[in-house]
Amino acid sequence: MQFTSERLDGDVLEREFTLGEIPGTLWTPGSAAPVPLVLMAHNNGLPKSDPRLVARARYTAARGYAVATIDAAGCGERPRSAADERARTELRRAMQAGEPVDEIFESFIGPLVENAVPEWRTTLDALLALPGIDGPVGYSGGWTALGIRLAVAEPRIKAAGFFAGGYVPRAQREEAGQVTIPLLFLLQWDDEGNPRERALELFDAFGTKEKTLHANLGGHTGTPWFELEDGCRFLDRHLK
Amino acid sequence: MQFTSERLDGDVLEREFTLGEIPGTLWTPGSAAPVPLVLMAHNNGLPKSDPRLVARARYTAARGYAVATIDAAGCGERPRSAADERARTELRRAMQAGEPVDEIFESFIGPLVENAVPEWRTTLDALLALPGIDGPVGYSGGWTALGIRLAVAEPRIKAAGFFAGGYVPRAQREEAGQVTIPLLFLLQWDDEGNPRERALELFDAFGTKEKTLHANLGGHTGTPWFELEDGCRFLDRHLK
């Protein structure tokens, strides 16, 4: 893992890194004591520099966590194949037109999730080898399908916060029952891009005995600020 | 309003009172500064001395609120007519047998809600006349139907936390759209006595633009402790 730049924002140190081909960002708080780690992922289509992700990461780091995110292969700012670009364009068009997107989703997002998991695990190995970062590990992210896959595959992850999750590939909907770590599932009640019924079904399907749903009125980007604090309090209960 | 007994529990003063025929309890924190008031109601069948209500009231008072509850006419420990007793017995039997209870609910609970509202408003008048209690006022309670009625009828109530609400009389389901104050709606995902679909429909029906749903796994009495803190933080946002 090589750090390529760093910047101090208040008490939070923000460092860009590369790990082989993987570009990532790590936010750490000012304290010298070891802190738990939170893997923070955004929707696969958005880059790790997305302002909403960065704001969540800084807030969480200031609350005493190391927070890391990466752009996995084919995601965020990393190169995409022409086929990927066509699939993304078609997915966007179909969603805007209100057409069924399940098949595009399966054939495009399904493999993206599968391929992202090894890169996230490699990143996790490297992060936990850094001084000042201590287990346990949490996941917090808008990319619910990746979170489900990681929660099932990666025993070091002890708690997870998911956002929305109406559209999740079949493989992850089917393995939701195998997720047994504590969950906070955040839902926007009128999310145009995430059908409410599916999100509620997914919440119902998780195998964990300790799961909480928070739903707020409004569309996809309308999550109220206090959910950021609630998310940290959830992590505090399980990682500190 | 006459205080009939008092007891100090840590920093919280617990006083029993009577207001005409209405018996009530008031919890106030140690601080001398005026505090907001929370009206805390339980399911109409349970007395104001119910241990879960008392625990919630003490916790909330320790967080800087005056908290008051009453047994309204026909509720809690107050005398019931023979007809009331028969209706309660029949309601309990039908719910345990899994039979439809809507009609019993309408004919028995409906009038109970209507009759309780004037007594709660009279109590509110008397409480706000006490030194050290200041507006604004919140409602927090497991008796969702009463909360809806009060939220619509009583402009001094500025925020409300409701619990469950699968069974709510038709009149209150219909006036849910007129509730425009901020709401926190708490739901147990597997509540044997409150059908989930109905509770979700009720959440959807509230007219307020600022409503949050919290759902946790488990049955009616399984609400996790952290919801008590979340409830106070919700009140803090709107009453302090």
Is B121 buried (19+), middle (13-18) or exposed (0-12) by CB count in 10 A?
Answer: middle
pLDDT, averaged across chain A: 92
In DSSP terms, A216 is beta-bridged to A188, B212
Nearest to A217 among B210, B216, B229 (CB): B210
- Among chain B residues, the shortest Cα distance to A184 is held by B216
Contact A98, A65 (CB under 8 A): no
For residue B197, what pLDDT is reported? Answer: 93
Give the 3-state secondary structure of residue A126. helix
Using CA coordinates, name the residue in chain A closest to B217: A211
DSSP tag of B11 = T
Q: What percent of chain A has pLDDT over 70?
A: 99
Closest CA in chain A for residue B207 = A217
3-class DSSP state of A180? coil
- pLDDT at site A117: 94
% of chain B surpassing 90 pLDDT: 70
CB atoms A214 and B217 under 8 Å: no
Which chain A residues have a beta carbon less than 8 Å from that of B228?
none
Q: How far is Cα B214 from Cα B158, in angstroms, rounded to an integer?
A: 19
Choosing among B184, B186, B189, B202, which should be mutated to test the A contact, i.e. which has the most A CBs within 10 A? B189
How far is the alpha carbon of A99 from chain B, nearest alpha carbon, in Å?
Answer: 25
Average pLDDT over residues B209-238: 95
Count chain A–chain B contacts defined by CB atoms under 8 A. Answer: 44
pLDDT of residue B195: 87
CA distance A174 to A192: 23
Q: How far apart are CA B65 and CA A202, in angstroms?
A: 38
- Residue B222, chain A, CB below 8 Å: the answer is no
Is A217 in Cβ contact with B233 (below 8 Å)?
no
What are the tokens at B100?
Answer: 């439809």
pLDDT in tens, A118-143: 999 999 999 999 999 987 999 998 88
Lowest mean pLDDT among A90-104, A112-126, B129-143, B223-237: A90-104
Neighboring chain B residues of A204 at a CB cutoff of 8 Å: 189
Using the Cβ of A200 and the Cβ atoms of chain B, whether some distance falls under 8 Å is answered with: yes
What is the rounded CA–CA span in Å between residue B42 and residue B165? 12
CB within 8 Å: A213 and B189: yes
What DSSP string runs through B151-200? HHH-TTEEEEEEE--SS--HHHHHHGGG--S-EEEEEETT-TTS-HHHHH
Average pLDDT over residues B88-106: 86
Task: Using alpha carbons, list the distances in angstroms from residue B187 to A29, A196, A197, B157, B182.
Answer: 36, 17, 17, 22, 16
Whether B80 has a pLDDT exceeding 70, the answer reads: yes
pLDDT tens, residue by residue, A75-116: 888 988 888 888 889 888 988 888 888 888 888 888 889 999
- Measuring CA to CA, how many Å separate B89 from each of A93, B24, B84, B92, B132? 58, 25, 9, 5, 42
pLDDT at A45 over 80: no
**Banded pLDDT at A166 (limits 50, 70, 90):** low
Q: Does B203 touch chain A (CB under 8 A)?
A: yes
Verify whether the Cβ–Cβ distance A216 to B211 is below 8 Å.
yes
3-state secondary structure of A8: strand
Band of residue B3 on the pLDDT scale cut at 50, 70, 90 = very high
Helix (H, G, I), strand (E, B) or coil at A62: helix
- Separation between Cα atoms, residue A234 and residue B8, nearest integer Å: 33
- What is residue A165's predicted lDDT score, i.e. its pLDDT? 67
**How far is the C-alpha of B5 from the C-alpha of B2, rounded, in Å?**
9
The average pLDDT across B22-32 equals 92
With CB atoms and an 8 Å threshold, state whether B216 touches A212.
yes
Using the structure block, give the residue that is written with the tokens 């709660």: B120
- The answer to whether the beta carbons of residues A26 and A2 sit under 8 Å apart is no
Q: DSSP labels for B61-114? A: HHTT-EEEEE--TTSTTS---HHHHHHHHHHHHHHHTT---HHHIIIIIHHHHH
Q: Do strands A183-188 and A211-216 pair parallel, antiparallel, or not at all (unpaired)?
A: parallel
Calculate mean pLDDT across residues B86-101: 87
- What number is the average pLDDT over the span A11-37? 94
B177 interfacial to chain A (CB closer than 8 Å): no
Measured CA distances, A16 to A31, A47, B4, B151 (Å): 19, 13, 66, 51
Count the alpha carbons within 13 Å of A82 in the hemisphere toward its beta carbon. 0
pLDDT tens string B181-219: 999 999 999 998 788 999 999 999 999 999 999 999 999
Walk me through the domains of chain A, giving residue ranges and CATH numbers.
Answer: 2-239 (3.40.50.1820)
pLDDT of residue A105: 82
Whole-number pLDDT of residue A100:
85
